């Protein structure tokens, strides 16, 4: 059988950061493989590998206490060379984590907070909780990934359009974390980090995926050719605020009327269930309460979830026709009732999408379940601090 060897298409010399990327992603494990992939000379590869090992980012197989059967001279990415912090902030809950450079969780914390809390009230508490999580962590913090609902400016590190997080727009977020660690802050919206969680460490096997955040609100993360697409202003995937005829003139929390969320968002479903005062006895204050009822066998709650999935599917079908994904991943609070919710999504998608677009289409639950958001925040930080450009800059400064 003929072996196909992947080769580098660009004529520019491969940098140390690019070599680390090849090892970290499993495409190379020896110096000879790096030479074959990059076209670099033995001397050039040795020099770059030496720089990476000196920085602690690479280890040589025979230098490790246990090589796990690795051949002599094998190159191993050192996941213990640093950590990243993950901060997933939602309307009523904040999830925090410390992760190693492979995205493995080392410490975590999750707490509910008051709906409508502002950054001055919440973020000092978040910073204190992160500091506590870091007490027993030795490696340096290389980066912090943070998510919020709505649209975020990744360059300036702030929210520029969040209908559910009043008081957060335009607020510089990085200063709140200055005393936690001397590390850069990276921000993205909650649907984007959900999509990134599917790509972390090769957890997802598909390169073209639509990732739905079905919770209090509705959002869409887009993975195309293995990359997360955020759009021109970072506003790609705002599916929840698409105007739909079925919503009529219903007012949305974003200030508009007729948005998909008014008939399919978790907040709208909770309001409908709460209006059924004779239907249930236990309080329903959040979509998680509604999901719990559905899992307990409540037929009305199950019907609401299926109806929500059906309405989402009407809009999602357009995205499926346009992007031809291999799978639709469902995350967020409503994903805990996956079967009921996806039954409605499938119904509309198969009715409204082109046959070819749905021929091999899969519907899957989020790989990391309830932790997908915070895992995605960690992935956001890792994508930046381990990028070839960032690694090369770190080596150049001796960091």
pLDDT in tens, 237-259: 889 999 999 999 999 988 899 99
**Relative orientation angle of helices 388-397 and 42-54, to the nearest 10 degrees:** 70
Check the CA dihedral 159-165-169-174 and report its sign: negative
**What pLDDT, on the 0 to 100 scale, is given for residue 5?**
35
d(CA 285, CA 114): 12
53 and 72 assigned to the same domain: yes
Evaluate whether residue 348 is within a structural domain. yes
Reported confidence tier of residue 71, pLDDT bands at 50, 70, 90: low
Q: Cβ–Cβ contacts within 10 Å for residue 251, how many?
A: 12
Last residue of a domain, one of 77, 101, 128: 77
Smallest CA-to-CA distance from 26 within 93, 76, 101 is with: 76
217 and 349 assigned to the same domain: yes
Reported confidence tier of residue 324, pLDDT bands at 50, 70, 90: very high
Evaluate whether residue 178 is within a structural domain. yes
pLDDT at 160 > cutoff 50: yes
Evaluate whether residue 95 is within a structural domain. yes
Characterize the bridge pairing of strands 227-229 and 218-224: antiparallel
Evaluate whether residue 7 is within a structural domain. no
260 and 342 assigned to the same domain: yes
Tens of pLDDT, residues 24-51: 988 999 999 999 999 999 999 999 999 9
d(CA 174, CA 385): 16
140 and 227 assigned to the same domain: no
347 and 389 assigned to the same domain: no
Return the CATH number at 37.
Answer: 1.10.10
d(CA 95, CA 75): 34
357 and 382 assigned to the same domain: no
The mean pLDDT of 360-364, rounded to a whole number, is 95
209 and 190 assigned to the same domain: no
Evaluate whether residue 3 is within a structural domain. no
Evaluate whether residue 2 is within a structural domain. no
358 and 238 assigned to the same domain: yes
pLDDT at 1 > cutoff 50: no
245 and 340 assigned to the same domain: yes
pLDDT at 288 > cutoff 50: yes
243 and 129 assigned to the same domain: no
Structural tokens at position 52 = 């990476």
CA–CA distance from 334 to each of 243, 288, 308, 340 (Å)? 21, 7, 10, 9
Reported confidence tier of residue 67, pLDDT bands at 50, 70, 90: very low
Return the CATH number at 351.
Answer: 3.30.420.40
Last residue of a domain, one of 77, 93, 123: 77
22 and 159 assigned to the same domain: no
Evaluate whether residue 9 is within a structural domain. no
48 and 155 assigned to the same domain: no
User: Using an 8 Å Cβ cutoff, are 103 and 200 in contact?
Assistant: yes
The mean pLDDT of 287-305, rounded to a whole number, is 93
User: Using an 8 Å Cβ cutoff, are 153 and 127 in contact?
Assistant: no
Evaluate whether residue 10 is within a structural domain. no
Out of 15-19, 39-43, 60-64, 312-316, which region has the weakest mean confidence (pLDDT)? Answer: 60-64
**What pLDDT, on the 0 to 100 scale, is given for residue 13?**
72
Split into its structural domains, the chain has a count of 3
User: What mean pLDDT value characterizes the chain?
Assistant: 89
Last residue of a domain, one of 25, 46, 77: 77
Structural domain range at position 148: 83-196+373-397
pLDDT: is 282 or 223 the higher one? Answer: 223
d(CA 274, CA 277): 6
């Amino acid at each position: 059988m003929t072996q196909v060897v992947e080769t580098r298409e660009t004529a520019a010399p491969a940098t140390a950061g690019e070599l680390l990327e090849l090892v970290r992603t499993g495409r190379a494990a020896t110096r000879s493989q790096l030479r074959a992939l990059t076209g670099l000379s033995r001397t050039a590869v040795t020099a770059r590998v030496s720089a990476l090992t000196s920085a602690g980012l690479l280890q040589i197989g025979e230098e490790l206490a246990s090589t796990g059967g690795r051949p002599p001279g094998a190159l191993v990415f050192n996941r213990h060379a640093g950590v990243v912090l993950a901060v997933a902030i939602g309307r009523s809950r904040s999830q925090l984590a410390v992760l190693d450079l492979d995205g493995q969780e080392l410490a975590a914390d999750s707490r509910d907070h008051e709906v409508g809390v502002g950054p001055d009230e919440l973020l000092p508490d978040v910073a204190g909780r992160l500091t506590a999580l870091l007490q027993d962590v030795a490696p340096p913090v290389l980066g912090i990934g943070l998510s919020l609902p709505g649209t975020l400016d990744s360059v300036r590190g702030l929210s520029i359009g969040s209908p559910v997080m009043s008081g957060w727009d335009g607020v510089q977020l990085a200063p709140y974390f200055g005393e936690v660690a001397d590390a850069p802050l990276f921000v993205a919206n909650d649907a984007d980090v959900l999509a990134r969680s599917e790509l972390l460490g090769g957890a997802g096997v598909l390169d073209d995926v639509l990732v739905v955040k079905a919770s209090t609100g509705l959002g869409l993360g887009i993975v195309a050719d293995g990359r997360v697409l955020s759009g021109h202003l970072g506003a790609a995937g705002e599916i929840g605020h698409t105007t739909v005829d079925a919503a009529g003139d219903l007012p949305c929390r974003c200030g508009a009327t007729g948005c998909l969320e008014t008939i399919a968002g978790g907040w709208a479903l909770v309001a409908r269930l709460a209006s059924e005062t004779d239907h249930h006895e236990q309080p329903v204050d959040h979509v998680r309460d509604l999901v719990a009822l559905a899992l307990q066998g409540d037929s009305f709650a199950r019907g609401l979830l299926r109806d929500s999935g059906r309405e989402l599917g009407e809009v999602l079908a357009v995205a499926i026709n346009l992007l031809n994904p291999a799978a639709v991943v469902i995350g967020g609070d409503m994903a805990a009732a996956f079967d009921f919710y996806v039954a409605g999504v499938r119904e509309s998608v198969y009715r409204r999408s082109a046959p070819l677009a749905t021929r091999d289409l899969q519907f899957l639950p989020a790989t990391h379940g309830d932790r997908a958001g915070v895992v995605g925040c960690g992935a956001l930080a890792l994508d930046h601090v381990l990028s070839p450009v960032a690694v090369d800059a770190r080596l150049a400064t001796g960091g």
